[in-house]
Structure 1
Amino acid sequence: MTKNTPSTSRIHLHILTFLLLSLPFHGSTQRSDPDQEQSILLSLKQHWSNPSSLSHWTPSSDHCSWPEIACTDGSVTRIAIINGSITETIPPSICDLKNLSYIDLQWNFIPGFFPTVLYNCPKLEYLDLSQNYLVGTIPDDINRLSPRLQYLNLAANNFTGDIPASVGSLPSLVSLQLVANLFNGSFPPEIGNLSNLEELVLSYNAFAPQAIPSSFTKLKKLRNLWMTEANLIGEIPDDIGNMSALESLDLSVNDLRGNIPDGLFLLKNLTFLYLYKNRLSGPIPQRVEALKLQVLDLSNNSLNGKIPDDFGNLTSLTGLALFFNQLSGEVPVSIGRLPQLVDIGLYSNNLSGELPPDLGRYSMLKRFQVSTNQFVGGLPKYLCANKVLLGVIAFENKLTGELPDSLGDCNSLQIVRVHDNQLSGKIPDGLWTSINLTTLMLSNNLFAGELPGNVGSQLSLLELMNNQFSGPIPAGISSWEGLKVFRASNNSLSGVIPQELTALPLLSTVLLDGNQLYGPLPSTIISWKSLTALNLSRNQLSGEIPASLGLLPDLLYLDLSGNQFSGQIPTEFDHLQPTSLNLSSNRLSGRVPSKFENGAFDRSFLNNPGLCSNIRSLGISPCRAERRKSDKLSSKFIAAVSSIAAIAFLVAFLYTIHVCRSYRKRKHISESTWKLTSFQRLNFTETNILSGLIANNLIGSGGSGEVYRVPVNHSGEYVAVKRIWENMRLDHKSEKEFLAEVEILGRIRHSNIVKLLCCISSESSKLLVYEYMENRSLDRWLHGKKRPYSITSSVHHVVLDWPKRLQIAIGAAHGLCYMHHHCSSPIIHRDVKSSNILLDSEFNAKIADFGLARMLIKNGEPNTMSVVAGSFGYMAPEYAQTRRVNEKIDVYSFGVILLELITGRKAHSGDESSSLAEWVWRHVKEGKPIVDALDEDINEPHYLDEINTVLKLGLICTSTFPSSRPAMKDVLQILLRCSQRLQTGEKTKRNEYDVTPLLQNSKPDRTLENDDSVFTSI
């Protein structure tokens, strides 16, 4: 080979230097023309129709100073326009910014398909298009995005189909977030090829049933894996323990089965583990080395065996949720010594032995839930040692001994439920007067002592039944002003009933039966305007029955039996509309008021020798005047009347069935013609219902029938009865369809759907019996001429402020989400509107009136309805035009309700030319201030961020195109995030409503749940 000469070497050096200088250094910023980049940005603004959020983008200002823009060495490298009201697609010119590496356009209204124009951004490392209107499938060639791409977030759009396998060919990807879309296909095993992946979020998608690919366990750097509600099946991979970097794992609300792999609890970095609501079985692994665990939720499975002793080594654990399993044996004593434990939920298992004695001693314990087990011994004495305990839920065990002294010095307490045990002794004085206590349930124990003169001002529910309390009812009971329910049956209370008891304005239920009370009742009742149930039976009360009892407007259940009352029944009782009345076994005299002389009260007056009635079925003596009158009747006349009646009956029976039916209808169809189909355990009969269908109980009527508020039982409870119009008779086929649908709806079990208790039908009428909702409909609260008040009178003059409205929206969203996503066959309501959102006494919302509901059409069947049904203003445009039926018509209607909650306006203006959705769209499009559209009751500055978000959500839900509307599960997640901000009081951040922090920071706190709604309200 020829040796290089010096001149040749210099030439080579010059060439090499030129090449090095001409090649851009990896990671460096290419030089660009600032004026050209500003021109590109201004063209972007123009393409996006000059949104008001970019009004400061002007040629006279330095584009690198704009808040949405970041520059490096004078060149644009970052664009972040969050919640900027962008309503157009992303143009190709965005990639003319050659150094652009960061694009964040979350929370806008960007429509169309995935923007493949971004393939031309060569340096793109970060892409966030979450919370937009993108539709269609993710393109199969998505791997054409920059190989530098590290962060990809497409959450909360409307992508469908499969996640393409090519996503596994993005070599630098660190975070992949595809949560809350409409994927209905599969997710690819090729994701397991992303060796740098640290975060994978696929939750809240309706994938086709699919097991967790074994390839996922190759993701050695993966820290967070979230696949909540992703339709997972099969078992958790055995080698999941190889994912050594895993910190947070959420596989909850799926259909996973089999055992929990041993390796899962050997992950050294595991911090959060959520496996609740699956079908996991077998024992919990006994070897636990995941010592960094902070939250462990294995609830709602079928796990058995013992709680591992190693759980006592989890010194970082704050929440332990094992409820609704089949665990047995004793709870390890060491769990009581965990220094960070805040919530422990062990209820509804088969656990036994004594509870760990140190629970609450070494940690800031807030929630203690161990009900429905077989625990023995006493409650741990240190439960409230650190003065932050909110609730003690320990009912239905075999606990003995006295309540811990620490509960007597625990002002944080809100709920104590220890009923159905064998506890004894006196109640600590401080517990009675605890300032935050709302619920104290001590029934079915062996407690003794006297009732206190004072209780905490928040106490509303007090249950003492079947104990050994004694002494008088104190005169100081007048200070129990917050009390709504007072149940103290079957104790040894004595003395007279003090006048002060009648001064409690919120009382709805008073049960003092089975005690040793004596003397007359107070002649004047001061404040019992809300009382619905009063039971004073089996005492030694005497004197006359006070006339003032007959003037109580809502009294439905009255039992004064087994006493020594005398005198006549007050004439004021004619004002009562009781479901149940029992005055038997007293010393009453005179005639029974004519109002009660019917079969509904045939056992109400027994064993009162001085009472009389002309109705033989009451079982008491006939009144003398009636007896003399009857003696004057001639036997011939009676015989003639009897003969005529017999002939008439025979003729009707033999010759005309139609006449017979008409006759029976005029005489009110007898009970034997009614058929009751029950969907719940009932505490009433069809007799209770039929007797309550009177004008005084009518509370509403609509296109298909009338609705009655009917009292039904001894506790003063109501039901709502919808009577279908008698002229709406169905043919045989329609009748079968009606009954089939009613049966399906009757089996729905969800706390935000009004319970259908039973169906009572005859040949000419149908009665649907629902649970009664005290605060009626949302429509009455938003649009009534006068502000309504709670039927229970517990919340007079309530204003629907923003927290209450958000609570109502979340409740309704829960109900619709259940119907759409969690029923075995999804259900479309078809008539969602504010008058079909009912509210209970605490303003919890429930979906009602399924008269138009339909099960989703099966594959292969037409997806249209022959008749358009619904309400103007709430009806999705495609439904009115094409009669096409899917879940998105309910989403549209729900969006209108969100707009109603915000504006206070009706869904329609009275004619069919304008709707609320159109009005709000115009208001926003014209750039008018949001505050101008708000209902005056919620126009508070500190709520505006959340209100603005919900307003936007309402607009998204009322989009013209169904594909642009989110699914109800996505709507629910956004509302829950808003609620969390209200509760925590956190300030709004730029990425406030990104779905990722929603999943990271707002995990469903399963440790708060209990099988009783009273405690979950904490």
Structure 2
Amino acid sequence: MSKLLQLRPEILLFFLISIPFNVISESIETERTVLLNLKQQLGNLPAIQSWNDSSSPCSWPGINCTDGSVTSVSLHDINITVKIPSSICKLKNLTFLDLAFNFIPGEFPTLLYNCSKLQHLDLSHNYFIGSIPGNIYQLSTLVYLDLSGNNFSGNIPPTIGGLRKLKELHLQHNEFNGTFPAEIGNLSNLELLWMAHNGFVPMKIPDRFTQLKKLKYLGMTETSLIGEIPNDFADLSSLEWFDLSKNNLEGPIPSRFLMLKNLTNLYLRNNELSGQIPRTVEAWNLVEIDLSMNDLTGTIPEEFGMMKKLVFFNLCVNQLTGEIPAGMDQLPVLKTFLVFSNKLSGVLPPELGLHSKLEYFEVWDNQFTGQLPKNLCAGGVLLRVVASSNNLSREIPALLGNCSTLRTVQLQNNQFSGEIPPGLWTTFNLTVLILSNNSFSGQLPSQLARNLSMVKISNNKLVGEILIGIGSWSSLTVFEASNNLFSGKIPEEITYLSRLITLHLDGNQLSGELPSDIASWKSLHTLDLSGNKLSGPIPVAIGSLPDLLKLDLSENQFSGKIPANLGNLKLTSLNLSSNKLSGKIPDEFDNLAYENSFLNNSNLCADTPILNLPDCSSKPRKLISKYLPLILSLAVLIVIVTVLLILFVMIDYRSKKRGGDLATWKLTSFHRLDFTEENIVYRLTKSNLIGSGGSGKVYKIAINESGGFVAVKRIWNNKKLDGKLEKEFIAEVEILGSIRHANIVKLLCCISSENSKLLVYEFMENQSLDRWLHGKKKKSTTIGTNSIYHIVLDWPTRMRIAIGAAQGLCYMHHDCCPPIIHRDVKSSNILLDSEFKARIADFGLAKMLTRQGEPHTMSAVAGTFGYFAPEYAYTTKVNEKFDVYSFGVVLLELVTGREANCGDEHTNLAQWAWRHYTEGRPEVEMFDPEIDGPCHLEEMTVVYKLGLICTSTLPSSRPSMKEVLLFLQRHSKKSDV
């Protein structure tokens, strides 16, 4: 020390200053070693390839430093597939760790307890399983914790209330099936609590939650809440966003509830709340109010008309009565006004839109009277007007016809009259115009807005001819003009509308012949021209329309023969009654499915008496009667011989069975059974056969007298099971026998012998999805033992089917160990029970991955054309993204109604959808016209775009099934899955 003191002052100063730099240098060197080791343990991923031993970690992607030390590691979405290495906590100053959107497996990483300074932890959207550990309180320095989008289950432990510094807690989109603790109310610094979309046991909102005085955001959508909303929630003075939608809450909204001074968003959608909205409202800072999809009663409080900061107002789908409060049309910043599906009455506020820039106005399904407000588009940004199913009257305001921003106008089922404003037909951005069931007068325009794709004007008093200018309506896909007073000929120019899907001109006074050149209607599904005065022959070109499903030409004056090529169509509905047709009907229609299709055509005939039409046979009946005795004698002889042969075969078959053949059958059960192999084997008869495919025949077999059935798939190839079918049998038994999920078809047992294999499943009453979506049913559809006429799946049912199937695939990909690739996902392998709940079926091609994320090599062609992912053309290695592509095709089927191989003559469905998308065509053009679309356009558009993403050419661009499922659940309104 004495020698040190004898040094010159400047040398001593340099020595003292250099000490911290040496320490920092050593720290950086240590952290570089830790991170390079981490890089190696994570598998040298492309995103971190630039990490090296010759540069400072502070310059590496994903790494941030403070004062020369690593404090932040962000490895967000870089395809990590291994567990978190324990070495990460050797970064002593680490405060920020983001590992979201990866594929990290295993249970909650308790090794992170060693990261003593950690403040921000994001593990969202990974593959974590199990429960949150009880000692999570050891992460006591955390300010931010995000565990959303994983597979955590069980209870949320009460010890989570020990994270006293926590400001944000994200637990949404997991599989919690236990309870959540009242101790969350101890988190006094919490500003955001998000627990939505979890299957907790039914619970009341804990009173202790009212202690969260700093809480700004509370999200508990779909968390099985019951009971009433605590009165003391009014004490949460910082609350801005409140979402308790999709629960089972009951009782009135608390009298003090709307006294929240700073509340900017209020969401209580899709509950079962009852009672009146309180009239004491002091929440003058409210920006967004959403009390939709409840069972609220009473009137809308007058105080809502005083909320000068209100932007979003949504009380739809309740039981509210009375009038809209005075002053609501004076609010200066109101953009969204939604009160549809209530029992509201009175006159709509006349100055709505005059004092604010209104964007969305939806008041349909109420009892409003009077006129539509004149100034809805005064702000120049109005996008949507839906006022259908009320008692509104008078004319459409002229200003609405000059609103250039409008995209949707729906005013059907009212008492409007007068002429339709000319500008409404030509508004540039308008895509949907529905004015049916009113008393509109006037004529059709010669020009139409370029983007207008759906026009419904049925049941009005419109007159005149359909002008030749209709040929310029190039974007039109749906045109319904039934039951008006249109007259004259149908112009040839209507054949220019190549995108038409639905054309209804029935119930008018149209005359003359049909245009002959209608082959351009390649997308047409429905053509209804009934109830007119049309004449001449039925154009042969109708028989060449590839997508035509419904054809109604009844009650006209058509003459001549029915074109033979009509029999080539996959018609689900045909009506040619009450015309002047003659000749023989096409053979394809000579069955009971078309018994009402040809009535009142006196000159038609058929080869069989099934349809009560005259016999077309030209042979004299005398010739038949001459040889009748000989014919009868031969027939009797044939019957006797046949009966004897059948008896001999049956006796021989029974004797073999009773002699020990049944003993060769081996039954392996996977569930408790109420039948034996004898119940199954002896009933594999032709009368019980319901289908067949590439891997065997399927039988429907009754197993008890109370109406219970099972489905039996028999794999039998000329009494010798070949190697390929043997492998499929083993695969299906191995997979279905070991997994349990509500959306995967249940394999009850397998029964095998030397020559035959049987798989016994639960019976699905509504068979497969493809039978409901596509034209394989002709006139009627069979469900179980009951025959019904063709029924179209509505959109909510399709959405539930999509979510159910996604849940099954998500379980296979993310919850099975090892994961399972189905490899043959298609609509015919999605079965539907009596309530249309989806089950994934047919696992003959499925494979288990030996390691998560590891591709599987296919040695032979597998799957179904139209559902193949593009990589199948250049590699035999597939992973879960192969199934994602196939599921994307199913989503496109659900939205468009088209088959997987039927885009157009050169493309499959996925290619067709992508081409339409890249050309910038309106999505509504692609939608299934069978669906009542206007109420569900937003959801259908979302699912359509999700189908496009899933069918991306590059596998890396496709989402995981977990992401697909979360996306569907997030955008479904009230899907009861």
Give me the TM-score of the superposition, normalised by structure 1: 0.66
Identify the match of residue 736 of structure 1 among 704, 708, 731: 708
Identify the match of residue 814 of structure 1 among 803, 811, 823: 803
Identify the match of residue 872 of structure 1 among 845, 851, 863: 845
Identify the match of residue 156 of structure 1 among 131, 149, 153: 149
Whole-angstrom distance in 1 between the partners of 2:129 and 2:394: 63
User: Aligned pair 1:344/2:337, yes or no?
Assistant: yes
1:326-371 superposed Cα distances (whole Å, 9 cap, x missing partner): 1111122422332332222222211111222222223332222222
Contact 1:249–1:272 (CA<8 Å) still a contact in 2? yes
The Cα of 1:410 is off from its aligned counterpart by: 2.3
1:886-929 superposed Cα distances (whole Å, 9 cap, x missing partner): xxxxxxxxxx99xx99973249966xxx5435999xxxxxxxxx
1:630-660 superposed Cα distances (whole Å, 9 cap, x missing partner): 36665x8768978998999999999999999
- Secondary structure of 1:305's match? coil
1:230-263 superposed Cα distances (whole Å, 9 cap, x missing partner): 2322221111111111122222222222221122
Identify the match of residue 236 of structure 2 among 234, 243, 254: 243
Whole-angstrom distance in 2 between the partners of 1:630 and 1:748: 46
Counterpart position of 1:916: 879
Whole-angstrom distance in 2 between the partners of 1:238 and 1:385: 41
Counterpart position of 1:373: 366
Letter in 1 for 2:149: A
- Secondary structure of 1:160's match? strand
1:988-1011 superposed Cα distances (whole Å, 9 cap, x missing partner): xxxxxxxxxxxxxxxx689xx799
Contact 1:746–1:758 (CA<8 Å) still a contact in 2? no
The Cα of 1:553 is off from its aligned counterpart by: 4.6
- Secondary structure of 2:184's match? helix
Contact 2:479–2:502 (CA<8 Å) still a contact in 1? yes
- Secondary structure of 2:350's match? coil
Q: Relative to 1, partners in 2 of residues 1:953 and 1:89: Cα closer, same or farther, differing over 3 Å? A: farther
Whole-angstrom distance in 2 between the partners of 1:821 and 1:303: 36
Map 1:67-466; keep pairs closer than 5 Å.
68-85=62-79, 94-95=88-89, 97-146=91-140, 148-466=141-459
The count of aligned residue pairs is 787
The Cα of 1:812 is off from its aligned counterpart by: 8.3
The Cα of 1:621 is off from its aligned counterpart by: 6.3
Letter in 1 for 2:383: L
Contact 1:753–1:815 (CA<8 Å) still a contact in 2? no
Whole-angstrom distance in 2 between the partners of 1:207 and 1:64: 43
Letter in 2 for 1:350: K
- Secondary structure of 2:34's match? helix
Identify the match of residue 61 of structure 1 among 35, 42, 55: 55
1:955-986 superposed Cα distances (whole Å, 9 cap, x missing partner): 976xxxxxxxxxx4x6534689xxxxxxxxxx
The Cα of 1:93 is off from its aligned counterpart by: 5.4
Identify the match of residue 45 of structure 1 among 29, 36, 39: 36
Letter in 2 for 1:145: L
- Secondary structure of 2:296's match? strand
Contact 1:752–1:812 (CA<8 Å) still a contact in 2? no
The Cα of 1:619 is off from its aligned counterpart by: 5.6
- Secondary structure of 1:376's match? strand
Letter in 2 for 1:178: L
- Secondary structure of 1:482's match? coil
Whole-angstrom distance in 2 between the partners of 1:47 and 1:606: 79
User: Aligned pair 1:849/2:831, yes or no?
Assistant: yes
Q: Relative to 1, partners in 2 of residues 1:258 and 1:951: Cα closer, same or farther, differing over 3 Å? A: farther
Q: Relative to 1, partners in 2 of residues 1:583 and 1:197: Cα closer, same or farther, differing over 3 Å? A: closer
Whole-angstrom distance in 1 between the partners of 2:594 and 2:319: 47
Whole-angstrom distance in 1 between the partners of 2:543 and 2:882: 51
Whole-angstrom distance in 1 between the partners of 2:520 and 2:601: 30
Letter in 2 for 1:814: I
Contact 2:126–2:149 (CA<8 Å) still a contact in 1? yes
- Secondary structure of 1:283's match? coil
Letter in 2 for 1:307: I
Contact 1:754–1:770 (CA<8 Å) still a contact in 2? no
Contact 2:767–2:831 (CA<8 Å) still a contact in 1? no
User: Aligned pair 1:904/2:870, yes or no?
Assistant: yes
1:854-890 superposed Cα distances (whole Å, 9 cap, x missing partner): 9999xxxxxxx9xx961435556699xxxxxxxxxxx
Q: Relative to 1, partners in 2 of residues 1:57 and 1:95: Cα closer, same or farther, differing over 3 Å? A: same
Whole-angstrom distance in 1 between the partners of 2:28 and 2:565: 87
Whole-angstrom distance in 1 between the partners of 2:648 and 2:423: 71
Whole-angstrom distance in 1 between the partners of 2:530 and 2:838: 52
Whole-angstrom distance in 2 between the partners of 1:175 and 1:538: 65
Letter in 2 for 1:736: G
- Secondary structure of 1:371's match? coil
Contact 2:829–2:842 (CA<8 Å) still a contact in 1? no
1:684-705 superposed Cα distances (whole Å, 9 cap, x missing partner): xxxxxxxxxxxxxxxx973578
Contact 1:831–1:853 (CA<8 Å) still a contact in 2? no
Whole-angstrom distance in 1 between the partners of 2:148 and 2:418: 57
Whole-angstrom distance in 1 between the partners of 2:291 and 2:710: 40
Identify the match of residue 36 of structure 1 among 11, 24, 27: 27
1:591-630 superposed Cα distances (whole Å, 9 cap, x missing partner): 656665555555544445555667666566667x85x823
- Secondary structure of 2:223's match? coil
Letter in 2 for 1:61: S
Whole-angstrom distance in 1 between the partners of 2:290 and 2:621: 76
Letter in 1 for 2:277: I
Contact 1:137–1:160 (CA<8 Å) still a contact in 2? yes
User: Aligned pair 1:542/2:535, yes or no?
Assistant: yes
Whole-angstrom distance in 2 between the partners of 1:770 and 1:580: 11
Map 1:523-922; keep pairs closer than 5 Å.
523-525=516-518, 527-569=520-562, 578-588=571-581, 599-608=592-601, 626=618, 629-630=620-621, 634=625, 702-703=693-694, 725=697, 729=701, 731-732=703-704, 736-738=708-710, 759-761=782-784, 814-816=803-805, 836-838=825-827, 848-850=830-832, 870-873=843-846, 875=848, 904-906=870-872, 915-917=878-880
Whole-angstrom distance in 2 between the partners of 1:622 and 1:750: 39
Whole-angstrom distance in 1 between the partners of 2:355 and 2:705: 67
The root-mean-square deviation of aligned C-alpha atoms, in Å, is: 5.3
Counterpart position of 2:4: none
User: Aligned pair 1:491/2:484, yes or no?
Assistant: yes
Counterpart position of 1:472: 465
Q: Relative to 1, partners in 2 of residues 1:281 and 1:749: Cα closer, same or farther, differing over 3 Å? A: farther
More moved, 95-104 vs 748-757: 748-757
More moved, 187-196 vs 565-574: 565-574
The Cα of 1:566 is off from its aligned counterpart by: 4.2
The Cα of 1:515 is off from its aligned counterpart by: 1.6
Letter in 2 for 1:354: V
Q: Relative to 1, partners in 2 of residues 1:752 and 1:49: Cα closer, same or farther, differing over 3 Å? A: farther
Counterpart position of 1:671: none
Whole-angstrom distance in 1 between the partners of 2:325 and 2:485: 40
5+ long unaligned stretches in structure 1: 1-28, 661-699, 706-724, 775-808, 839-845, 858-864, 880-895, 921-934, 958-967, 977-1003, 1012-1018
Q: Relative to 1, partners in 2 of residues 1:420 and 1:835: Cα closer, same or farther, differing over 3 Å? A: farther
Whole-angstrom distance in 2 between the partners of 1:226 and 1:751: 38
Whole-angstrom distance in 2 between the partners of 1:657 and 1:313: 89
